[in-house]
């Protein structure tokens, strides 16, 4: 089976063709770089995305703290991940990279702040 993908790693958006056998990527072409190859393999074998959102702050200088997952998570875990992240409230100052929710859904991925909020 052949799958045609648009790479999402950078603004170029290369058109990539992946040959898939038994759920494994066996041949990748059309990618412009190493990141594109890695994306294409992941996309057919275990698609994942970095998740970014915001969580409410309490008693801090901003209403919302922007956050992201420390690594990409499985694409189909996003709805459950959002439900978990929605429960978080931040009431102490955070710096960029501080963990605000450890081990999201047991995936071994943390949710971290992406902005200093005092």
Partner 1 sequence: MDERELVIVGGGPAGMAAAVEARECGVRDIVLLERGAHLGGILNQCVHAGFGLAHFREVLTGPEYADRFIQRVYETPGIEVSTRSFVAELKPGKVLTYLRPGAVCTVRAKALIMATGCRERTREMIQIPGTRPAGVYSAGLAQKMINIEGLLPGRRVVVIGSGDIGLIMARRFSLEGATVSAVIEIQRQPTGLKRNIVQCLDDFGIPLYLGHRVLWIHGKNRVEAVDVAPVDELGREISEARFTLACDTVLVSVGLIPENELIEMAGVELDRRTNTPVSSDLNYTSVPGLFVCGNAFKVYDIVDSVTRDSIVAGRQAVEYLAACNGGERRG
> Which stretch in 19-27, 99-107, 108-116 sits in contact with partner 1 by CB under 8 A?
108-116
Contacts of partner 1 in 55-94 (CB under 8 A): 56, 62-64, 66-68, 75, 78, 82
C-alpha distances in angstroms, 92 versus 17, 77, 97, 114? Answer: 47, 28, 14, 15
Instruction: Tell me how far apart the alpha carbons of residues 112 and 76 are, in angstroms, rounded to a whole number.
Output: 20
| Cβ at position 116, least distance to partner 1 in Å | 7
| Cβ at position 14, least distance to partner 1 in Å | 9
| Cβ at position 96, least distance to partner 1 in Å | 5
């Amino acid at each position: 089976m052949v799958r045609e993908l648009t790479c999402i790693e950078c603004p170029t958006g290369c058109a990539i063709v992946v040959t898939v056998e038994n759920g494994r990527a066996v041949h990748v072409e059309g990618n412009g770089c190493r990141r594109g190859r890695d994306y294409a393999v992941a996309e057919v074998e275990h698609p994942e995305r970095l998740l970014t959102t915001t969580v409410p702050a309490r008693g801090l200088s901003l209403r919302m703290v922007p956050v992201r997952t420390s690594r990409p998570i499985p694409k189909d875990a996003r709805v459950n991940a959002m439900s978990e992240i929605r429960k978080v409230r931040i009431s102490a100052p955070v710096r960029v990279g501080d963990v605000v929710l450890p081990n999201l859904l047991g995936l071994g991925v943390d949710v971290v702040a992406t902005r200093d909020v005092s």
